[in-house]
Amino acid sequence: MRLALFWLAVSSRARYDPGKPQEHDGRVPSRRPSDREVADSGVRREEAERMPWFPSHSTVCDGRPCAPGEGNLQHVREDTPRGWRYKQWTQPYIHREAWVQARSRDVPHSPDEVAVYGDAVALAKRTALDGRVVVTSGDWDYRELVLNFVLHAHKLAYHNTLVLSMEAELHSDLTARAIPSADLSRSLAAWNETCLQRHIQAARTERHVAVAAMLAAGIDVLLCDATVVLLRPVVAELAAIPADLLVQRDAWPEDPVRKVGVAANAGFYYAHGTAAVSEFVLSAVRRGLIEFYLRWNNIGDQYGLSFVMADAKMDAKADGGAGGGRRGGGGRPGPPWGAA
């Protein structure tokens, strides 16, 4: 019996191909994690065997609304010379590299799908002033930050502000406050079929597809992270700059910085409402899914935007241009990408 069990164990390991997922769907595995999965998760085996197979996110905790962050799977923190931070190169759930790599890297819906973004675009058209909207996004965890953003925007008379609500609970709360909100909870759920594993990864990416839908409808968009606080009027100033897309500079990821000297912050940009700019934003989403090999990173959207803008700048230099885009229909050259 011992020999038989030993043979089965060896045989099972010999048949295991780390390049192919053992489970192709979303069911919870009923087995122990493999050595490769333990190593990829960045923990010891005894820790891995206590970890869940999937990240989790909830808006209800013990029968009540979760406090901000309470409904998420908690990450380990560590004390470093620079202070406390979330521990790098680990995660609080088992990582299955082969399973992630087998997932779709396609955008689950296009920005021109009326069934997906019809209500959001209609809301943007009703809310817009001079063809422009100020947009932020968030989920139930971010409700206080979202409200803070909107109230500061209203102080500047930006009543053309709307929120892309990634969860129905946030949408209901904002609607009760008479704050324009687009409920994107259903479109967010579609990202579960892709390689993105975490709720925040999907939420960050989905907002750009919704923005692309507004741009395709001819609406200019200032997209801001909910953590942004607008202290002075800036929209008209940005709109007057002759460029298709103005993006805040950033220093990460490193490859675009090495390539063109700058990266792009995906959480603050002004985009003119043209079909060309809509497609450019969507191409950044696609590139972000392709670049999603750093599974620990939640900013796949910033990777995508930085890489496509770096490529656009290099292409423009090769053509002898200034590195900028051209306004749809007008053909005006703009300043270098990422110059804002």
> What is each CA distance from 305 to 211, 220, 337, 338, in whole angstroms?
14, 18, 11, 10
Average pLDDT over residues 200-209: 95
Residue 9 has pLDDT above 50, yes or no: no
Under the phi-then-psi rule, with left for phi > 0, alpha for psi from -120 to 50, and beta for the rest, what region is 297? beta
Q: What is the pLDDT of residue 85?
A: 76
Q: What is the pLDDT of residue 295?
A: 58
If you average pLDDT over every residue of the chain, what do you get?
A: 84
Residue 108 has pLDDT above 50, yes or no: yes
* Rounded Cα–Cα distance for residues 159 and 184 (Å): 21
Q: What is the pLDDT of residue 112?
A: 84
* Window from 1-5, 67-71, 150-154, 223-227 with minimum mean pLDDT: 1-5
Residue 268 has pLDDT above 90, yes or no: yes
* Rounded Cα–Cα distance for residues 62 and 222 (Å): 38
Q: What percent of the chain has pLDDT over 70?
A: 84
For the whole model, what pTM was predicted?
Answer: 0.84
Convert the pLDDT of each residue in 58-105 to its tens digit: 999 999 999 998 888 877 778 888 888 777 666 788 888 888 888 889
The total number of residues shown for the chain amounts to 340
194 beta partners? 104
Q: Are 289 and 194 in contact (CB under 8 A)?
A: yes
CB burial string 179-191: b at 16+ within 10 A, e below? bbbbbbbebbeeb
Does 302 or 295 have the greater pLDDT score? 302
